[in-house]
């Protein structure tokens, strides 16, 4: 059954809208997944702010070409589904990796991240990265440590001056007491 030109334009428009809203898209081959497994995967992805859509390869390749995203044509052969990541990419990749380990039918082909295509191995490496919150915490710690040292170094002369003045004040007070007693 052929798709009308109007329907194709609508599908490309839908792809463009999803592409614009997504931080990344994970390209998968879903051949052999049952309806129940696909439903389960969609639910898991939804919890991470992602969606799972079967795409028409020729139309999606045209969408990517118009967006200036170079993607190897090999990745869009056979049944293709995309996971559109609206929020963080790492948890979505982790869900897909876990699901692929449970279901041999799901094959991760790669990730489209901005104008870059990451192959299957690079995508799998994303699953091992710490979450965004952990990375931000590490960044804050890395920035905060040197700043605390700088503040300590800058305030040390003032602290030492205050200690000298306090010691001098105590010494003057003792001398005043001794002179009064004499």
Reported as a single tens digit per residue, the pLDDT across 2-16 is: 778 888 888 888 888
pLDDT in tens, 26-50: 989 988 888 999 999 999 999 988 9
pTM of the model: 0.66
* Full DSSP string of 106-132: -EEEEEEETTEEEEHHHHHHHTTSPPH
Q: Which CATH number fits domain 5-129: 3.30.70.1730, 3.40.50.2300, 3.50.50.60, 3.40.50.1370?
A: 3.30.70.1730
| Gap between the Cα atoms of 161 and 40, Å rounded | 68
| Tokens 């041999």 -> residue | 104
DSSP letter (8 states) at residue 88: -
């Amino acid at each position: 059954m052929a798709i009308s030109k109007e329907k194709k334009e609508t599908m490309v428009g839908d792809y463009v809208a999803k592409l614009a809203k997504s931080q990344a898209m994970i390209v998968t081959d879903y051949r052999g997944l049952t309806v129940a497994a696909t439903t389960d995967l969609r639910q898991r992805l939804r919890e991470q702010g992602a969606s799972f859509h079967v795409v028409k390869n020729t139309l999606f390749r045209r969408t990517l070409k118009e967006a200036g995203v170079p993607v190897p044509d090999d990745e869009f052969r056979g049944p293709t589904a995309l996971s559109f990541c609206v929020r963080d990419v790492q948890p979505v990749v982790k869900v897909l990796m876990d699901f692929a380990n449970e279901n041999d039918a799901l094959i991760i082909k790669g990730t489209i991240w901005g104008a870059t295509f990451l192959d299957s191995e690079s995508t799998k490496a994303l699953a091992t990265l710490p979450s965004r919150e952990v990375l931000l915490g590490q960044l804050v710690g890395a920035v905060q440590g040197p700043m605390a040292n700088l503040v300590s170094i800058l305030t040390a002369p003032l602290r030492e001056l205050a200690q000298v003045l306090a010691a001098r004040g105590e010494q003057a007070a003792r001398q005043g007491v001794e002179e009064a007693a004499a």
